[in-house]
Amino acid sequence: MVHAEGVALALDVARPGSPPKRYRLPRRDHDAWLDLHAAIAADFGARAPLNRRPAALPPPAARLEPVLTEAVSPDILYGFGDPCVLHVPEEGAWYLVATSNDAPQSFPILKSSDLKRWELASFAFPQGGKPGWCLEGLGRADFWAPEIHRVGGGYWLVFSARQADGELAIGLATSARPEGPYRAQAAPLLTGGVIDPHLHVAPDGTPLLFWKVDDNGVWPRRLAALLGERPELAGELFDNPEDRRTAALAAALWPWLEANAPPMEQFFALQPLIEAAAEDLAGFEARLSGEAGLEIAETLRTRVYAQALSPDGAALVGARHLVLQNDQPWEAHLIEGVWVSEAQGRWFLFYAGNDFSTPQYGIGAAVADGPLGPYRKLAAPLLGSSTEWVGPGHPSVAPGPDGRPRLFLHAFFPGRLGYKAFRAVLSADLTFEGDAVRLG
């Protein structure tokens, strides 16, 4: 079914008893896989990716102020996903650090005196200066979700990256200045398929690390493998014919993907299967049975944990706390990108939910009486897609020029969503009212 043609691929797809139709994948990136799935869906009645379906978007529900809408350097390849903004009042400046994916220079650090005009100050890990444990190379590396925080008299950078075996891990680096140079620890701080670290300093000065276990990257692979072993399960797990065809396609693709594709390409290729399961996650979860099905069910909820760090940031100490997991319909199969902010004696946890590459992605919030929870989610998302900006996510909080807290986030331009597509940085004032928070 899958034929390698140099760097490209060809796929033969057929209905039972009919000759196959050949589809060519000219590149192995996100857009190419989405186009392929859209074409197969049109011809064979499989599920079309949400990214390739028309979306009726509402007008903007909140005023979002543009912060960065174009790259300020040719070395910044993909925009400013997962932005963290840090205010350094003694300098009268704000610093911003962002995801860099597989770019040769990792984690651009920008500086501004007014949140309007920005200049590139440095890269946390310039070319040739990445931590030794991190996987490097175009199409292989993933340097994600950095944050810079003041801890004691210095600055700590926490970040996600892949190890040599492709597994995601969290690292920590330190510097005397927000722009670096940063010196990374020799080994990851935390391993085991973990991403999106967030650092919050508790009232007693204890640094707390929050992170997400990336199980939403685990269960689709298990599901595709299971469907390959037991094709009859497609009819038990999925109610409508298009999703059963999608399940059969994923099962046929999986042996080649497992042997030849890096983790992100596996996500691209399995995205319609993921969306089929996530459309009714609770119902899909209820239909899973047997030992293999229960293993998949265990990873359907993406969990956010928190744990204290030692004063030098070298190790996690004390008890580990489960802080949050996806349980709201709008969140579908995942939550991620958390940020904890204290206001009026309460702790507010901002987070992103759903698939980052679709208009369903948005920002939610939860409130607690302490930084480790338990957290109570707001009844509705704080921010969703609109005709102006699509896929808002991965929030951070910092004071604006007037001293009011501001929410910073990334979003796509309409019609330009996808892995490595440019993401702009936007901001909005935050207003806290008891257990509630709103934009503006």
User: Tell me: the pLDDT tens digits for 355-411?
Assistant: 999 999 999 999 999 999 999 999 999 999 999 999 999 999 999 999 999 999 999
**For position 428, which CATH number holds?**
2.115.10.20
Q: Are residues 409 and 349 in the same domain?
A: yes
Q: Tell me, yes or no, whether 335 lies in a domain.
A: yes
Q: Are residues 176 and 84 in the same domain?
A: yes
Q: Are residues 314 and 404 in the same domain?
A: yes
Give the domain-ending residue among 245, 264, 298. 298
Q: Are residues 312 and 195 in the same domain?
A: yes
Q: Tell me, yes or no, whether 267 lies in a domain.
A: yes
Q: Tokens 């469907």 — which residue? A: 227
Residue 268: domain span = 2-44+217-298
Q: Tell me, yes or no, whether 186 lies in a domain.
A: yes
Q: Are residues 290 and 315 in the same domain?
A: no
- The stretches in the chain having pLDDT less than 50 are none
Q: Are residues 243 and 291 in the same domain?
A: yes
Instruction: Give the residue from 400, 379, 383, 402 showing the smallest Cα distance to 391.
Output: 383
Tokens of 111: 């500086």
Q: What confidence score (pLDDT) does residue 6 get? A: 67
3-state secondary structure 133-164: CCCCCCCCCCEEEEEEEEECCEEEEEEEEECC
Q: Tell me, yes or no, whether 56 lies in a domain.
A: no
| pLDDT, tens only, 323-342 | 999 999 999 999 999 999 99
Domain count, the chain: 2
| DSSP codes of every residue in 284-310 | HHHH--HHHHHHHHHTSS-EEEEEEE-
Instruction: Give the residue from 296, 270, 285, 271 showing the smallest Cα distance to 327.
Output: 285
Q: Tell me, yes or no, whether 85 lies in a domain.
A: yes
Q: Are residues 196 and 261 in the same domain?
A: no
Instruction: Give the residue from 433, 209, 437, 221 showing the smallest Cα distance to 319.
Output: 209
| pLDDT, tens only, 85-96 | 999 999 999 999
Q: Are residues 147 and 165 in the same domain?
A: yes
Tokens of 168: 């995601």
Q: Tell me, yes or no, whether 52 lies in a domain.
A: no
The continuous run of DSSP H or E covering 119 comes out as strand 118-125
Tokens of 202: 């508790």
Q: What confidence score (pLDDT) does residue 2 get? A: 76
Q: What confidence score (pLDDT) does residue 18 get? A: 85
> Which residue type, as a one-letter code, is found at position 366?
A
Spatial distance between the Cα atoms of 58 and 283, rounded to a whole number of angstroms: 28
Instruction: Give the residue from 223, 315, 230, 228 showing the smallest Cα distance to 272.
Output: 223
Give the domain-ending residue among 298, 318, 339. 298
Q: Are residues 275 and 345 in the same domain?
A: no
Q: Are residues 310 and 291 in the same domain?
A: no
Q: Tell me, yes or no, whether 50 lies in a domain.
A: no
3-class state of residue 35 by DSSP: helix
Instruction: Give the residue from 154, 183, 5, 185 showing the smallest Cα distance to 88.
Output: 154
Give the domain-ending residue among 250, 274, 298. 298
Q: Are residues 130 and 179 in the same domain?
A: yes
Q: Are residues 199 and 239 in the same domain?
A: no
Q: Tell me, yes or no, whether 323 lies in a domain.
A: yes
